[in-house]
Every structure is written in structure tokens, then in C-alpha cells.
Amino acid sequence: MPGMDHGSSAPSSSSSAATADFNDADVMFAQMMIPHHEQAVEMSDMVLDKEGIDPGVLTLASDIKAAQQPEIDQLQSWLEEWGADSDTGSMEGMDHGGGMMSGDDMAALEAATGAEASRLFLEQMTMHHEGAITMAQDEVDNGQNPDAIAMAQTIIDTQTAEIATMQELLAQL
């Protein structure tokens, strides 16, 4: 069968495993997920800096930030190891697989206060997560690098659970 000999010389460390096998889908996943995660961290920072935010929303925003910043760092590391362009700024304005907030969306979140900020964060982050899940599913379906595929599956699992939490929190506001 074609492709069955790809693992014949097994890498000795996880670092070399990350560079062993990768394809265009892996590179695209990393390049698109970095700015997507960066925006989620920015949105979380916005809501964490506000007064009168629902405690469940604050916990969720902290959890999102704690999960996504290390993933950003790992994705950047992979791009470097793969010799791929990590300047995702050149992709400014792209939809990044969906779920990216517009400048107006970000301004509305920045301006919102109290319960309105909590509601807006939950609604926007739900859409944002749905976009990330779509990108991650594309990586699971089309990627080659086992570490990137594993991260994508973690993103799917984590963010699906967070969407359920956000829906519960929205119902309580």
C-alpha cells in the first residue's frame, strides 16, 4: 500500500516526531489557528478586565486563555520546525475557517459592560469556537502530523464542551 513505509525510521524524540511527517493541511492548520486563538485570548482578556461579569463567564474566560496560549506557542514552534512561514499577519482579513470576530464585534465587546458584556462574550465565543472546531476537524480529516492531529482533536473536544458550558451560562443570564 502506498505510504505504509513512512514510519520506518522512528524518531527518537517528540521534537523530531513533530518534524517527521507533515503536509500542507498541517501547516494551514497551524497558520490559521494561531490568529484564531490569539483573538480568543484577546476576547478573554477584554472580559476579564471588566467589572460585573458573571463569575461563570470569568472562569470560562480564564480557562480559554489558559488552554489557548500554550497551543499558540506549540503551533508557532511547529511552524518553525517545519520551515513554514509563521507570519500569519499576512493572512489578515481572512476568515480563518470561520468564527473570527470583526473589528465591530471586538469594539462592541470592548464597549459592553456587566451582564451585556457577559452575554456578548458568550455569544461571540460560541461562534468563535464553532469556527475553530471546523478548522480542527479539517486537520483531523486531512492532516498528516500525529501531534497536530492530536491537538486538533483536543481542540474539538475541549471547545465542544466549552460551547455546552456557554449555552448553560447564557440560559442563566
Q: Determine, yes or no, domain membership for 160.
A: yes
Q: Determine, yes or no, domain membership for 41.
A: yes
Range of the domain at 77: 20-86+95-172
Q: Is 58 exposed, middle or buried (0-12, 13-18, 19+ CB in 10 A)?
A: middle
pLDDT in tens, 25-34: 999 999 999 9
CATH number, position 31: 1.20.1260.10
pLDDT in tens, 128-164: 999 999 999 999 999 999 999 999 999 999 999 999 9
Q: Determine, yes or no, domain membership for 38.
A: yes
pTM of the model: 0.83
Q: Determine, yes or no, domain membership for 6.
A: no
3-state secondary structure of 27: helix
Domain count for the chain, please give it: 1
